[in-house]
């Protein structure tokens, strides 16, 4: 009887220690995350939803940066292929976005390209008025 109680107490202690270790590891991983990713994982209802939102943000921002900076006029089939490969590549970028500031970098890249495109548009409009 005493041996049985000690086994139960020992297994309970192991569960408590395991919960403590996993909590410490979770806190360590959470504290190492980049800013926006940490915000998403801290405020969304589950880690699964936060992962999907992180992936969608990375994909949308990557597509925006591609469109603003690198896209040429292509046929619809070629665009589908390019965005499919961009989608697959963003899976890897999502894993990097957990601990590196990928989302923040994509936001800054998009802002720089928006400013560049707006100045280019204004410059072309000014040249058209002069001609």
Q: How does residue 31 score in pLDDT terms, banded at 50, 70 and 90?
A: confident
pTM exceeds 0.85, yes or no: no
Cα 17 from chain centroid (whole Å): 32
74 confidence band (pLDDT: 50, 70, 90): confident
CB-neighbour burial class of residue 105 (10 A; exposed 0-12, middle 13-18, buried 19+): middle
pLDDT at 119: 94
pLDDT digit string, tens, across residues 6-23: 555 455 444 444 444 467
Cα 129 to Cα 20: distance, rounded to the nearest angstrom? 69
Task: Kindly state the tokens that stand for 70.
Answer: 């690198």
Where would I find the H helices in 33-130? Answer: 35-43, 47-69, 76-97, 102-130
Summarize pLDDT for 77-108 with one digit per residue, the tens. Answer: 999 999 999 999 999 998 888 888 999 999 99
**What does the mean pLDDT of the chain come to?**
83
């Amino acid at each position: 009887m005493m041996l049985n109680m000690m086994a139960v107490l020992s297994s309970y202690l192991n569960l408590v220690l395991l919960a403590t270790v996993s909590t410490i590891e979770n806190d360590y991983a959470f504290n190492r995350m980049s800013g926006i990713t940490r915000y998403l994982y801290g405020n969304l209802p589950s880690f699964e939803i936060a992962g999907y939102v992180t992936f969608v943000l990375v994909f949308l921002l990557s597509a925006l940066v591609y469109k603003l900076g690198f896209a040429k006029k292509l046929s619809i089939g070629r665009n589908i292929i390019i965005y499919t490969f961009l989608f697959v590549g963003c899976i890897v970028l999502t894993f990097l976005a957990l601990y590196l500031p990928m989302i923040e970098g994509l936001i800054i890249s998009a802002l720089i390209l928006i400013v560049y495109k707006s100045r280019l548009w204004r410059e072309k409009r000014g040249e058209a008025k002069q001609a």
